[in-house]
């Protein structure tokens, strides 16, 4: 899934909640979190400060041997492995 597909999927998911966000809004949020070529996102900035960035259930981003790493959370692992109740 590339960024365009991620934006489209997020727009569809927000519509399921009853309040659909515009694709431009979703793209700005994704850029703010993950960054762009021109500007680092909030996750990268946190890692650079030596912080662990945790999204409950999804996982945490942290530095491991000076490399950014994602340690998946329980909810993400269960969903991907088909064990969600």
Report pLDDT for 25: 96
Given a contact cutoff of 8 angstroms between Cβ atoms, the answer to whether 62 and 47 are in contact is yes
Kindly state the average pLDDT of the residues 77-84. Answer: 85
Bridge partners for 7 per DSSP: none
Report pLDDT for 85: 61
pTM for the structure as a whole: 0.80
Q: What is the pLDDT of residues 49-73, one digit of tens each?
A: 999 999 998 999 999 999 999 999 9
| pLDDT above 90: residue 77 | no
Q: What is the pLDDT of residues 7-24, one digit of tens each?
A: 999 999 999 998 889 999
Q: Is 59 helix (H, G, I), strand (E, B) or coil?
A: strand
For residue 53, count other CB atoms closer than 10 A to its CB.
Answer: 19
Terminal Cα distance for the chain, rounded: 25
Report pLDDT for 27: 96
Tokens coding 39: 């500007």
């Amino acid at each position: 899934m590339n960024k365009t597909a991620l934006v489209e999927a997020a727009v569809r998911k927000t519509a399921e909640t009853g309040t659909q966000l515009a694709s431009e809004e979703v793209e700005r949020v994704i850029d703010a979190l993950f960054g762009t070529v021109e500007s680092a996102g909030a996750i990268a900035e946190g890692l650079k400060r030596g912080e662990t960035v945790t999204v409950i259930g999804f996982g945490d981003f942290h530095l491991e041997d000076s490399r950014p790493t994602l340690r998946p959370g329980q909810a993400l692992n269960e969903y991907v492995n088909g064990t969600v109740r």
